Homo-oligomer: A and B are copies of this chain.
Amino acid sequence: MTKVQTSFEESVARIQDGDTLIVGGFGLCGIPEKAIQALAEKGTKNLTVVSNNCGVNDWGLGLLLENKQIKKMVASYVGENKIFEEQYLSGELEVELVPQGTLAERIRAGGAGIPGFYTPTGVGTPIAEGKEHKVIGGRQCILEEAIQGDAALVKAWKGDAYGNLIYQKTARNFNPLAAAAGKFTIAEVEELVGVGELDPDFIHTPSLYVQHLLVGTSYEKRIERKTVQQA
């Protein structure tokens, strides 16, 4: 019943060429550093990656870009990455830009078995082109479809052997949504705690969403924009 694994290499070997992968994180905050590194080493190709951003040149999902492992990126903002720009302009990389709230909701819908939903977000913009429109409750909306992943990579703060997870501060971001929407979810945690140590009233990702759980060590947790108070 334990989901604890010890080899990131073996866990990411579950991911096949051509898979759709949902990856937690916002910018470089709360990204599954270790699983991404293992996947970069593994070299799995033709991935469709769904994640709010695409890392930076030499970190996070940028590592997979550098290796040309990503065929298509689904994201809301990709402005922090030069390699991304090159591959996109050369036509190597397919890109689907999705408003952040719609992206979050589509991933949630994927985990929650809601095949599609209507939202006013994007009406009258290029995002709405080709999408079904419907007025509901007096509001013009467009139809958006759920996103499910063949696999999901998430990063949590603490987890137990059953796969219960808690996240810290804004490192939560897309992680719980990704965990639920992955058919095979690999969670990495900073700390493995005993079963029963996490308060059942305050578990962010209940155990049933997680298939593999690994403990990562020496997290870099790079900061994109360190801002401090002027003393």
Contact = CB atoms under 8 A, between A and B. Distances in A.
A204 to B, nearest CB: 8
Interface in A140-170: 141, 145-146, 166-169
Interface in A110-129: 112-120
Given A146-B137, A167-B201, A116 B118 contact: yes
Interface residues of A, number: 27
Nearest to A105: B114
Tell me the interface secondary structure of chain A in the complex.
mixed
Interface string A32-44: 0000000000000
B134 A116 contact: yes
Nearest to A168: B201
30 contacts: A105-B114, A109-B117, A113-B119, A113-B120, A114-B117, A114-B118, A114-B119, A115-B118, A115-B120, A115-B136, A115-B137, A115-B139, A115-B141, A116-B117, A116-B118, A116-B134, A116-B141, A117-B117, A136-B146, A137-B145, A137-B146, A166-B201, A167-B201, A168-B201, A169-B200, A169-B201, A172-B201, A199-B202, A201-B202, A202-B202
